[in-house]
Structure 1
Amino acid sequence: MPSPRDPAASENTGPDGPLRVVNTSVEHTENLLGTDVRRPRLGWELSAEGQRGARQSAYQVRVARSAAALGDGLRTVWDSGRVVSERTFGVPYDGPGLEARTRYHWQVRVWDGAGRVSRWSAVRWWETALPSDGWHGHWIGAGPAGGSGDGEVTARPAPLLRREFTVGAPVTRARLYISGLAYYEAEINGRRVGEQVLDPGFTDYDATVLYAVHDITGLIRPGGNAIGVTLGRGFFGMTTPNVWNWHRPPWHGEPRLLAQLEIDHPDGTRTLVATDGSWRITEGPTRTDCLYAGETYDARLAPGGWSLPGYDDSAWSPAGRRRAPLGTVRAQPHEPIEVTGTVEPVAVRETPGGSHVVDLGRTLAGWSRLTVRAPAGTVVRLTYGEKLHDDGTVFAETEHVPGRFQRDEYVCAGTGGDEVWEPRFSYKGFRYVEVSGVPALRGRWSVVGREVRTPVAEVSGFRCSEEFYEQLDRAMRRTVRSNLHGIPTDTPMYEKNGWTGDAQLGVPVMTYAFGTHRLLAKWLGDLRDSQRPDGQLPVIVPSGGWGYEDLAPSPEWTTVYPFLVREMYRVYGDERAVREHWRPVTRYLDWEIARLRDGLAVTELGDYLAPGYGGNPPEDTRLTATAYLYRALLATAELAGLVDDLDAPDQDATAARYRRTAHELREAFNAAFLGPAGHYRTDRDPGYRQTSNCVPLAFGLVPPHARESVTASLVADIAARGGHLDTGALGTSVLLPQLSERGHPEVAHTLATRRTYPSWGYWFERGADTMWEMWQADSRSRAHYFQGTVAQWLYENVAGLRPGDAGYGSFVVRPDGRAGVEWARTSIRTVRGEAGVEWSGGSGAEPFRMSVRVPVGATAEVHVPVGPGPGTVAVSAHPDARWVRVERGFQVFRVPQGRWEFTAG
């Protein structure tokens, strides 16, 4: 391989090359502190402003232990040399084995199609975590010594653990490796460690236990030091009974801690502080904490200065050693949850009972921050909810969790000044906070909202002339954000569970609106961990044992596993996800195939929460179950042909078998459900069912001869219902796209803009700012994204940008949902760079104009709408813009990188 100083590798170097490396990433983040991935994947985005048809022909990556070593190019750990390739992401480090606890710096440069080389990119870095045998500490904590599951446990105050240590030499580097179950909050010398909350991420603790890595160099000082850790219960130590049995999973136990401080000195020595019997423990001021019930904090019991050196902990007890959880301890691969914003109240109202209700003006997930001045022992109660009772008090009730629910309690210390407090170990879904227990004197107390979530970046935008469409987009994004807490959840208020069906429907919006790769890759690991040896998956992931027999099988939910693997490749080009999950995915699909009855899939669920139904719909749910299994089989078979070396010698045979099974499912499906009237029905139908017809259209199950009649039946039923949908979560996700794709955009527009029940507008007429769980006005949850998938239609049909495959290596621009809209635009930052479309006109005499942006390394298939005649399309001149074909109402072009202008009229 040529070195960076080899003339052959450096010719034509200069700033005039058209390609620039504008963004780089390692494992889908800019810099990465603490990873145990053996071959981290590198990626970069390229800019070729003013160019068309630009491409990368080769790249060179170099890695060193310091930025200075990269600068001289002679002390590299690995230099790829000039690699002939168009790949710009998912490039694995391919040098010598990485050493633990080591920071690696890297950069890249690229060659364009003419052989001109770019400048080197900015230097980024990643740092490796502990080796698997690198832990010197033990799990410690309170409560009885026992297994990873302690059986039934009783609620005890959150424990405080501390340890003093001495540093006798200057510090060059210091790291804290820490896992507190379920949650930890650490302080060193009185200062908080990191910005994370509700950390580490939730997992099946019998399979995987995550730990975090913190750079604490700036917190350590010469001489005496102290570390203090508070532990929270989360799901690991939950004691509140609930229908999902989180209070008694197999890994249940009292909170415990594993931690290790490593402090490096200039002479190469290291100070090591690890969890052992020398740590001290006591009960802290957090008297109770529960994800469902809330927290009680007694400020009178807060030990001042307890995480500072010199604190008198003689009354504390030695921390007992606890048995380790069964799961493998791994460095946390995804973004930790954080407090991402503060929401000021818009109104405060007094209730007839004397409490005060704080209205934050919008629905969010998180908690409140209380500021209060009151006598010692005053108990301030904060009750959280998304809606109000008729008397104006907060609605915070559920049949799934008996007793106390979504309520925090703060016992004042009575210091004479302002006391400021916010919870640590439980988040809530809410818009309103009811405050009781304090005098209603102005200035004596105040409450603000604190938004808490996984801080995924927003990577796309959507705008259009229809203001209500923009409102729908904002509401869906807010709803998704409120349901990202280390896993994709179903509702931040009522369950906080990783329902697989919700994610199946929401993933296309999640991956378009936000940078969710790391979060979803982590959840894929949770899916794998939850799988039983026979291949079965539960309907919530992670699971503590609930969701297997309870609701099995349910392929509309659990086929999220193959669907998500396919989407990770489609959106992010993630070949590693395919390789890692191929075997468990096929084991799951084989489990489903073995359960077929009369050639059809069976399910315990269905088109959940259709109008008028509180759960499952009335029709034969084998229809949707078979459709989702059919889609999953074909998607998995596709992956076998797209990704080589799956470490499965039978991958081609498996793919062929899945295609055969899918064909057999299709035949059985149509024989059972396609009726003589030319549309789908089941023997249990109370009438026409929209979902039973739009889902087969969307999944390619309808025979060619029946597509017109099935579509016509759908349009007729919507008209008969006064322009309303009649779908639950499954049907809603595909109804509008199918109407648009099949030539009825005006019907889709009618559905999208309805203001009467059932519709999204019905919610917003009643003050909604998020998507609700149910169509009726008394919907249980008001932050539930699985009915808000209309946003996908906005991006893919109204604006018209659809992911194709291989990390947007190909994508489609087809604005076929333009009815009622004068203009629209959207853009997304893909793994290759920005893709986008904006269009206007096309109504009346005004010509249709569309601009399309294609990143380097991608190709777009652009569908330009034309009138009923032959149509004329003007395209910005370039030999690489190729006319492909004519479809009904569209002329189709294929274009490479660049900005392209199309005019039709």
Structure 2
Amino acid sequence: MYIAKGKEYNTIERHVNAPLFKRIFDCKTNEKSTIKITVVGLYRLFLNGKELNKSLFAPYLSNPDEIVFYDEYDVSGQLKQKNNVLCVLLGNGFVNSNDFNIWQNETASYRSAPKFDLQLKIGGETVFESDEEFLVTDSPITFDDFRCGERYDANREIENVFESTSLENFRKSLIVTPPKGEIIKNEAQPVVAADERTAAAITKTEKGYIYDFGVNDTGIPCLEINAQKGQKIDLYFAETVGGNGVDVRSISFAQSNPEYVQHDVYICKNGLQKYKPSFTWHGCRYAEVRGISAEQATKALLRFIPVHSAIGKICRFQCDNETINKLVEITLRSDKSNFIFYPYDCPHREKNGWTADAAISAEQMLYTFDAYESLRQWLLCIRKAQRKDGALPGIIPTAGWGFTFGNGPAWDSVLIELPYQLYRFYGKSEIVTENAAAIEKYFKYIEIKFNADGLVEIGLGDWCQTYTHAEGDYETPVEVTDSLTMISLAGKTAEMFEKVGLKAEKIKNFGKVLRENFRKKYVVDESLTVQTQTALAMCLQLNIFTAKEEKKAYAQLLENIRRQGNHFRVGVIGYRYLFETLAKHGDQNLCFHLIAQNSFPSYGYILGQGATTLWESFEEYERKEGELQRKDGVKRIPSFNHHFWGGVLAWIYRYIGWLDIKSEDTIEISPTMIEGVNRAEIEYSRNGKSVAISWRRTNEKLQLKVNSLGFKCILKHGGKTILPNGDSRFEFTIK
């Protein structure tokens, strides 16, 4: 049964302490012992003074009306005959989160105090479960919210509480209603801490001290201070600084209360003490510490601990072009710092599972990270969030927000793109079959949404397009990007369905009809009527044109780029199509220039501006009187840590590293010369297979080395050559 401290839940207006539950019990046997804990909220679990958690922020973040996850722990050999102390500390997590009335979390039907269900089994028999025998008290955590921050009063600590048998000030817990959602075992890769980072610099401000940790990242602070009782320390976290402290404009909304934007509060007890928050994390480069003296403002006072899901890195790349190396570095940092159980949009402002962001980044993330279990579990949450009519929300999990704004085919594509890429990289048919029914339901939903022209026009378009003043000011009509996205999704769905033995004729016909309808409206006199880089590149990549039309369209695309001063004018839907189209038409040098040049807008430009993570949008900035300002005059400052422009990473691996992953066991190596790169090395390993590719260009000679173990490697150079396991060496003359 589920228990809670009470019915009152924490809010910004009325703080409620995180509850700490305790049970003392005896154990008369040494048989196999397990604890199963299901939590609506977050938890930390302690047995005889030892923390058992396999993950930070356990168990997960989900809509409890749809799905609730449990963890299991083998505690065999950890129980004593007498006076075992079992403690559960609960945090709010998703069940009770504040969002300044943006995503409906504060009015969610499931909103409640955190609660849990626990069973201890010994020898296969249930010894006890959570009930009123668990006693509860207030913990020192006086407020917690994974977006807003945590507040902690060290004077409320109970000495040795996790191992002491004392129950003073504990009271009976309350039996409460169980959640409505399905109870499922948590299989996602755990969230883990990386090595602590000390400040690169400390700067005094009017209100306190700025700690600069060198790079933008996601993590938790570690505060260590010798203080007197009652000293109040405020920690504010942000990506940028202004003339008078941290600047929270890129991590908050206009209606946000700045005192509840990534703000931790610590009330000191006497003496040396150490604090790390339990139920919040922050996206930041800078921390502003207020309430400390000059003597206390040392590097030892505050350290930063990066946290992310334990998605192992399986690809390593480097070349002799430092712009590209740096771009790879900041992309990977954005990927990891935005992965807490599942991909987020940003780790500071929203911490939402935006669907388009994950769909756009799926390929590049899976090139580099082993994220199968985490993405598979998130797909389960996606299926649970799908409405009966097939519609999907723009964020998952959601309290209901995202069905009337924030979705559409490019966002909903996560339901197809994730299984497609996971099957491509892992070859497990389960990932397709588990999602097939939901995918088919989605296609039926889209058919109902066809407009009078037999096309699709719902939701968002080419988000964050360059040369615009707001994210939604895209130039390519939504009808164009939506319809072309659905054509792409139909092709990918049919491909993966056929590979696992599922019927695909209806999906193929869907794509065929949509292509015909699109051509009828938008291809006139052998030319596309919408002459944006996004529209042209998508049509070229998706084979919308005849051979004659394609030649004309590609010339138009090149002319468009030339008129733009050889810069890309695309958003997050169009950029990958543009890069791939240019490379496949032999213009990889032009594409490289678009990516790496120093002028605005480009990746080289943001690197030149000191970016340590990918930006949400390409903007020009300047500082006036210490304040960061956009040159276009727009006051809003977008995020400086979004991964959805990271699709460039797959392009780098493919056209500079020459690693083109076709399936879980097949790799193509296609030598492609790019001016500005004369050497590259890449290593990739998965499921016991590995490949290392290195090449070097010297004058007119190209040397290529491949070491493959388990993969079918195909060299495409003047034909196709299947390489044997082990070392292969080649030398070519460059014409």
TM range (shorter): over 0.9
CA contact (8 A) 2:132 2:174 kept: yes
Deviates more, 1:815-824 or 1:317-326: 815-824
1:544 match: 399
Give the SS at the match of 2:227: coil
1:200 match: 59
1:497 match: 352
2:597 match: 754
1:217 CA displacement: 3.2
2:675 match: 819
Alignment match of 1:765 (pick from 580, 586, 608): 608
Give the SS at the match of 1:217: coil
Give the SS at the match of 2:497: helix
Matches within 5 A, 1:113-124: none
1:787 match: 645
Tell me: CA distance 1:594–1:774, structure 2 relative to 1, closer, same or farther (3 Å): same
Distance 2:143 2:583 in 1: 52
Q: Is 1:174 the equivalent of 2:42?
A: no
CA contact (8 A) 1:723 1:754 kept: no
Alignment match of 2:225 (pick from 372, 379, 382): 372
Deviates more, 1:731-740 or 1:754-763: 731-740
Alignment match of 2:662 (pick from 804, 820, 824): 804
2:555 match: 712
Q: Is 1:139 the equivalent of 2:11?
A: no
Distance 1:399 1:578 in 2: 38
Counterpart residue type for residue 367 of structure 2: Y
Q: Sequence identity of aligned pairs in percent?
A: 24
Counterpart residue type for residue 899 of structure 1: D
Distance 2:237 2:549 in 1: 51
Deviates more, 1:475-484 or 1:694-703: 694-703
1:601 CA displacement: 1.3
Give the SS at the match of 1:164: strand
1:60 match: none
Any idea what the Cα deviations from partners look like across 1:792-812, whole Å, max 9, x if unmatched? 11011111212213x2x3232
1:728 CA displacement: 1.0
Alignment match of 1:623 (pick from 467, 472, 480): 480
Q: Is 1:469 the equivalent of 2:317?
A: no
2:277 match: 423
Any idea what the Cα deviations from partners look like across 1:279-320, whole Å, max 9, x if unmatched? 11122111111122111101111112222242133x322111
Matches within 5 A, 1:158-557: 158-169=18-29, 171-264=30-123, 272-313=127-168, 315-351=169-205, 353-395=206-248, 398-399=252-253, 402-403=256-257, 404-413=260-269, 415-416=270-271, 418-442=272-296, 446-552=301-407, 554-557=408-411
Any idea what the Cα deviations from partners look like across 1:434-453, whole Å, max 9, x if unmatched? 00012121467711101111
Task: Kindly report structure 1 stretches of 4+ aligned residues shifted beyond 6 Å.
Answer: 149-153
**Cα-Cα RMSD:** 2.2
2:693 match: 837
Counterpart residue type for residue 636 of structure 1: T
Any idea what the Cα deviations from partners look like across 1:66-118, whole Å, max 9, x if unmatched? xxxxxxxxxxxxxxxxxxxxxxxxxxxxxxxxxxxxxxxxxxxxxxxxxxxxx
1:260 CA displacement: 1.8
CA contact (8 A) 1:740 1:816 kept: no
Any idea what the Cα deviations from partners look like across 1:167-187, whole Å, max 9, x if unmatched? 234x24332211222100111
1:679 CA displacement: 5.1
Aligned residues: 711
Tell me: CA distance 1:300–1:583, structure 2 relative to 1, closer, same or farther (3 Å): same
Distance 1:715 1:214 in 2: 59
1:360 CA displacement: 0.3
Counterpart residue type for residue 243 of structure 2: D
- Structure label with greater radius of gyration: 1
Any idea what the Cα deviations from partners look like across 1:829-848, whole Å, max 9, x if unmatched? 1235013322222x742x22
Give the SS at the match of 1:388: strand
Unmatched segments (≥5 aa) in structure 1: 1-137, 645-650, 683-687, 865-889
Any idea what the Cα deviations from partners look like across 1:682-739, whole Å, max 9, x if unmatched? 3xxxxx5211111222233233222222222222222222221111111222322221
Give the SS at the match of 1:167: coil
2:456 match: 601
1:150 CA displacement: 12
CA contact (8 A) 2:201 2:213 kept: yes
Distance 2:609 2:330 in 1: 14
1:154 CA displacement: 5.8
Distance 1:218 1:540 in 2: 43
2:626 match: none
1:895 CA displacement: 3.7
Distance 2:572 2:332 in 1: 17
CA contact (8 A) 1:372 1:419 kept: yes
CA contact (8 A) 1:240 1:290 kept: no
Give the SS at the match of 2:422: helix
Any idea what the Cα deviations from partners look like across 1:614-664, whole Å, max 9, x if unmatched? 1220331111111111111111112232113xxxxxx43xx1122122112
Counterpart residue type for residue 443 of structure 2: L
Distance 1:817 1:672 in 2: 39
Q: Is 1:587 the equivalent of 2:441?
A: yes
1:762 CA displacement: 1.6
Q: Is 1:661 the equivalent of 2:510?
A: yes
Counterpart residue type for residue 900 of structure 1: S
State the TM-score, normalized to the length of structure 1: 0.76
Counterpart residue type for residue 288 of structure 2: E
Distance 2:323 2:48 in 1: 52
Distance 1:462 1:376 in 2: 51
Distance 1:674 1:492 in 2: 42
CA contact (8 A) 1:150 1:252 kept: no
Tell me: CA distance 1:695–1:586, structure 2 relative to 1, closer, same or farther (3 Å): same
Alignment match of 1:732 (pick from 558, 569, 575): 575
Any idea what the Cα deviations from partners look like across 1:755-808, whole Å, max 9, x if unmatched? 121111221111111111010145521110111221111011111212213x2x
Distance 1:400 1:838 in 2: 50
Counterpart residue type for residue 4 of structure 2: G
CA contact (8 A) 2:97 2:147 kept: no
1:675 CA displacement: 4.8
Distance 1:549 1:383 in 2: 34
Distance 2:593 2:376 in 1: 37
1:894 match: 722
CA contact (8 A) 1:343 1:449 kept: yes
Tell me: CA distance 1:782–1:304, structure 2 relative to 1, closer, same or farther (3 Å): same
CA contact (8 A) 1:357 1:433 kept: yes
State the TM-score, normalized to the length of structure 2: 0.93
1:466 CA displacement: 1.1
Give the SS at the match of 2:240: coil
Distance 1:289 1:667 in 2: 54
1:236 CA displacement: 0.7
CA contact (8 A) 1:242 1:402 kept: no
1:680 match: 528
1:672 CA displacement: 2.4
Give the SS at the match of 2:379: helix
CA contact (8 A) 2:10 2:17 kept: no
Counterpart residue type for residue 560 of structure 2: D
CA contact (8 A) 1:206 1:325 kept: yes
CA contact (8 A) 2:36 2:72 kept: yes
Distance 1:701 1:844 in 2: 40
CA contact (8 A) 1:824 1:839 kept: yes
Tell me: CA distance 1:815–1:499, structure 2 relative to 1, closer, same or farther (3 Å): farther
